[in-house]
Amino acid sequence: MGEKLETVLQGTPVSPGIGIGPVHVVARGFSAPEVYHIDENDIPHEQERFRTALEETKLQLDELQQKIKALSGEEESRIFEAHLMVLEDRAMLDRVADAIATRRQNAEFAFYAVMQHFLEAMRRVPDPYLRERTADLEDVCQRVLRNFRPDEAPRHTAPDETHILVAYDLSPTDTAGLNRRHVVGFATELGSVNSHSGILARSLGIPAIVGIEDAVLDIRTLTPAILDGYSGRLILHPSEETLARYQELKDRKEKVRQDLEAQRDAATATTDGRTITLSSNIEFIDELALVRNSGAKGVGLYRTEFLLLDGEEMPGELEQSEAYTRLATELAPHPVIIRTLDAGGDKLPIEPLTEPEPNPFLGWRGIRVSLDRPGMFKEQLRAILRASAHGKLAVMFPLVSGLGEVRRAKDFLKECMDELSAQGVPFDEKLETGVMIEVPSAAVIADLIAPEVDFFSIGTNDLIQYTVAVDRVNHHVADLYRPTHPAVVRLIKRTVDAAKDAGIWTGVCGEMAGDIRLTPLLLGLGVEELSVGPHQVPRVRRAIRALSHVECSDMANFALKTGISSEIMDATMDMARRYYPELLD
């Protein structure tokens, strides 16, 4: 086969970094089988394996059709006729046979690749009837794949375990579940910079690109590639020169990372002595080692939805308590802030709904779910209280929109304290309680909420989207999602000032906290704590140590007076470029 020409596909960068390795393409609807290269003399054998799997599937479908006919009648049994027609489609059969020969890949993966192409094409047609038929096609595909002889062991070497994942889209759960030892980056057709999957990619340190048009249709598994998470380029069949250039860039970035890690134990304070608490956001207990190695002073946001909703059933009070206790003990004496279940929106679903929400971002999510499910809520609160006897824990309520929600949540917490006291269970009676300020209504009445709690943590991702009325996962309006919008800047300042007047502290746990372009702005607005992904801690620490708080305050005063987002971004970027240019991508 001839040398492939280098091809550059342009997308939108969502998580910085360089990934080098073979591509692995994942289709929606059914799992990808193992893929491996075959020799030319193995082509007839693989084509025979394909025919055998087809014949076995036909027999199974015919048998199933007869059973349905006996049970329910002729009409109902006809639903399988479409399935059988797929297996006899000459165009499909020829394409699979040709794919085995030209791709030089095993039969099941050649079949998978061809069917993946058909499925993606069907999903994009405007006819709703045809789009609905994708489910039938997916079912046929799964049946055929299961009928490739499972007892036949591969006689070829599997591809390198490290790979670049290419998919139509990745859910937050998909992203969080990626094997970080093997996935060196991912590229998707859908998504945006501010989608929850993009946020998780940055938090986990996985280079990522979104918006690569027709990636699933056009890219072959095992294609050698480079994923550039800085520029948003996916380079297929890179030349030796391109590989060398990117390897040099990767080595240079690694040198910067090592220099940052050397400062792990340095004080996180500005040049004029303003100390900032730098903590970490985590999703999983097994990220504790990352937190410790980063030098973060505890956890500013533990997202419990992945603990609570990632299994077949919700863990009970004692199981939750064990997880929270491990957090408390392993990070002591540093604090851990546990956010109660934050489901809905673009996150994880708490339970199936009888009908889809027309706008889940404005629907049943955050603290609203917990207050509507008091049994589940109290179970989580009691688990947190039990664990608080073993270290410094705090609890935080998400998506609060008013004072009433805060008081109701605190009432439930008080009930849980009384219940545990009656049982003689020890807990921290002075457990700190905080709320996330991520709804404009909460920011506007921050002065009323502040006396009720011990701290504020600003969730800038939602605060921005609700303030500027932009769905942060909608690529059509992505350019309107602006963290430096004057209204957002003023709401942050209003929140910080209200907390200061009440004698409590304010942190930021949203994406703005880890964006070193915005570090000067946040410091200038008076934020006292930043909670970021473990991989972002060294960069943010270096940025803080390079800045003067007085100078940041002067810049923030300018930001509060101007009405133009770009002017605020230019002002904070100018400081970032002057004081830590080596960190900017």
pLDDT one digit per residue (tens) for the chain, 585 residues: 456 889 999 999 988 899 999 998 876 655 678 888 889 899 999 999 999 888 888 888 787 677 656 654 565 456 567 677 778 888 888 889 998 998 888 898 888 888 877 777 776 666 555 555 666 677 678 788 888 865 544 433 334 578 999 988 876 656 766 777 889 999 998 877 767 677 778 877 889 999 898 888 788 888 999 999 999 999 999 999 999 999 999 998 888 888 888 888 899 999 999 999 999 999 888 788 889 988 999 999 999 987 876 655 678 899 999 999 999 999 999 999 999 998 765 555 555 554 555 566 677 888 998 999 899 999 999 999 999 999 999 999 999 999 999 999 999 999 999 999 999 999 999 999 999 999 999 999 999 999 999 999 999 999 999 999 987 767 677 788 899 999 999 999 999 999 999 999 999 998 899 999 999 999 999 999 999 988 899 999 999 999 999 999 999 999 999 999 999 999 999 999 999 998 886
As given in the structure block, the two tokens for residue 392 are: 């410094």
pLDDT of res. 104: 87
Angle between helix 486-502 and helix 460-468 axes, rounded to 10 deg: 130
Order of strands across the sheet that contains 224-228: 7-10, 233-236, 224-228, 18-26, 163-167, 183-188, 208-210, 12-15
Domain boundary pick from 255, 290, 317: 255
- 164 shares its domain with 141: no
Residues in contact with 11: Cβ distance below 8 Å, sequence separation at least 6, in sequence order: 187, 209, 210, 211, 212, 232, 233, 234
Contact 143, 29 (CB under 8 A): no
**Token pair 């020169």 in the structure block, residue:** 241
- 356 shares its domain with 463: yes
pLDDT of res. 580: 95
β-pair partners for 6: none
- 185 shares its domain with 58: no
- The CATH number covering residue 88 comes to 1.10.274.10
- The CATH number covering residue 501 comes to 3.20.20.60
pLDDT of res. 237: 95
Answer yes or no: is 556 within a domain.
no
* Domains contained in the chain, number: 3
Q: Give 3-state DSSP helix, strand, coil % of the chain, rounded to 5.
A: 55, 15, 35
C-alpha to C-alpha distance for 175 and 200, rounded to whole angstroms: 7
C-alpha to C-alpha distance for 279 and 297, rounded to whole angstroms: 5
C-alpha to C-alpha distance for 161 and 459, rounded to whole angstroms: 36
pLDDT of res. 440: 97
557 labelled binding-site residue: no
Answer yes or no: is 526 within a domain.
no
- 464 shares its domain with 493: yes
- 333 shares its domain with 474: yes
Answer yes or no: is 87 within a domain.
yes
Give burial (CB, 10 Å; 0-12/13-18/19+) of 458. Answer: buried
pLDDT of res. 359: 66
- The CATH number covering residue 194 comes to 3.50.30.10
- 98 shares its domain with 187: no
- 384 shares its domain with 493: yes
Answer yes or no: is 551 within a domain.
no
Contact 225, 185 (CB under 8 A): no
- 141 shares its domain with 174: no
- 333 shares its domain with 465: yes
pLDDT of res. 412: 98
pLDDT of res. 124: 65
Beta pairing, strands 455-458 & 505-508: parallel
pLDDT of res. 441: 97
Answer yes or no: is 566 within a domain.
no
pLDDT of res. 540: 96
Among all residues, which ones are annotated catalytic? Answer: 196, 509
pLDDT of res. 547: 97
Answer yes or no: is 94 within a domain.
yes
- 396 shares its domain with 317: yes
438 labelled binding-site residue: yes
- 492 shares its domain with 433: yes
C-alpha to C-alpha distance for 364 and 345, rounded to whole angstroms: 8
Domain span at residue 71? 40-146
β-pair partners for 10: 233
pLDDT of res. 481: 87
Answer yes or no: is 476 within a domain.
yes
Residues in contact with 329: Cβ distance below 8 Å, sequence separation at least 6, in sequence order: 390, 391
Domain boundary pick from 255, 283, 309: 255
**Per-residue buried b or exposed e for 381-405, using 16+ beta carbons within 10 Å of the residue's own CB:** bbbbbbbbebbbbbbbbbbbbeeeb
Domain boundary pick from 120, 146, 172: 146
Answer yes or no: is 386 within a domain.
yes
472 labelled binding-site residue: yes
Q: What is the DSSP letter of 350?
A: S
C-alpha to C-alpha distance for 250 and 242, rounded to whole angstroms: 12
β-pair partners for 275: 269
Beta pairing, strands 224-228 & 233-236: antiparallel
- 189 shares its domain with 334: no
Q: Residue 44: what residue type?
A: P
Contact 190, 196 (CB under 8 A): no
Q: What is the DSSP letter of 277?
A: E
